[in-house]
Structure 1
Amino acid sequence: MIDIREADPLSDALRPVIEAHFTHGESAGPAESNHTMDADALAGPDIRFWALYEGETPLGCGALKVLPDGTAEVKSVHILAQARGRGLARVMMNRLAELARTEGLSALVLETGAAHLPAYDAARKLYEALGYSYCGPIFGYRDDPNSAFMRLALEPRP
């Protein structure tokens, strides 16, 4: 059974997930365009972090950073390689959207790798399928040819 719960990114149990995510970010594009957060940053006061578990085995993670404009930035969504192909990233993204919607946020925004960085192809395709649209740089970022910025408006549920 898949379960998503708020978690401590500094916990030993989550170290393999965080390290895999960080390694992916370091290898996927130029260092100057890498915005991957390490465990210490994910444990910061302005970040909420969740882990995706199957039973008691962590398989992935995701985080939200609330921004001053009433939106939240999606951070550090990662599914371990051995668990990919099961729709778990979609499950995590949908949970983050529902949490943000419940908290009254107006939109989710994110930064990911640009189209010429193939390591981010699957992520961009997922975000597009979930209804995200491309936009200009989001809060805290500058235009970067290695980055794609996306936004999903959150309509309140009736």
Structure 2
Amino acid sequence: MQIRLDDLSGPEVAAFLEEHIQDMRSVSPPESRHALDLEALKAPSIRFWTMWQDDLLIGCGALKTLSHDHVELKSMRIRASHRGLGFATELLHFLLDQARWQGAERISLETGSMPFFASARALYRRHGFIDCAPFGAYKPDPNSVFMTRLVAKAQRTA
């Protein structure tokens, strides 16, 4: 398994992200869709990584800089066939390390409140994220759960 900084130019990445966007469209109402498309992920404030097993793209995740000490976790996804095998935990640890190395003191995220997102919320809570108020440009939304944690106190858990 390898995680690498990605320039979002590969066709595998485009297809993987399109599948992510389609999943979000299928479970979230239009006003509550916050997943970024391929072009939006190319913004200068975002760093994007992909996770590979041999030549198979199995995951991705991004960090968006909100301020000098606050980043947002974006577009974290694991291929359906690889969920429940520890890849999400490995990718999350990697992204927490990247946030720390970037100098962030806090990492926050938005995810859905629907049952579809229950396993994601459980993963984040297992790794120290707690519910919080909307941050950045987000507004209160019954379809969203906002979570945050300190990076400086990040500890790996099983």
Q: What TM bracket, shorter-length normalisation?
A: over 0.9
| Cα deviation, residue 21, structure 1 | 1.1
Maintained 8 Å contact 1:108/1:152: yes
- Indicate yes or no: 2:15 matched with 1:16: yes
What is the letter of the counterpart of residue 57 of structure 2? P
Give CA deviations for 1:43-86 in whole Å, capped at 9, x if unaligned: 12111000000012111100000112621000000111112121
The answer for unaligned runs of 5 or more in structure 1 is none
Task: Give the TM-score, by structure 2 length.
Answer: 0.92
Distance 1:67 1:31, change over 3 A: same
Q: Displacement, 1:97?
A: 0.4
Deviating 4+ runs (over 3 angstroms) = none
- Report the Cα distance in structure 2 between the residues aligned to 1:15 and 1:67, rounded to whole angstroms: 25
Equivalent pair of 2:68/2:103 in contact (CA under 8 Å) = no
Long gaps (5+) in structure 2:
none
2:142 partner letter? P
Question: What is the TM-score when the length of structure 1 is the normalising length?
Answer: 0.92
Q: Deviations over 1:82-139 (max 9, x none)?
A: 121211111111111001111210111000012xx11100100000001101000011
Classify the secondary structure of the residue corresponding to 1:138. Answer: coil
Matched AA of 2:19:
A
Q: Any conservation in 1 of the 2:32–2:143 contact (CA below 8 Å)? A: yes
Aligned to 1:134: 131
The answer on whether the counterparts of 2:68 and 2:104 sit within 8 Å (CA) in structure 1 is no
CA distance in 2, matches of 1:27, 1:60: 20
Matched residues in 2 for 1:68 and 1:85: separation? Answer: 33
What whole-Å deviation, never above 9, does each CA across 1:128-155 have from its counterpart, x for those lacking one? 0011010000111111111100001011
Equivalent in the alignment of 2:38 = 39
Structure 2 residue 72 is matched with structure 1 residue 73: yes
Aligned to 1:92: 91
Look up the match of 1:119: 116
SS in 2 for 1:39: coil
Q: CA RMSD in A?
A: 1.4
Q: Percent identity?
A: 37
Aligned length: 154
Q: Find the residue that maps to 2:39 and give its secondary structure.
A: helix
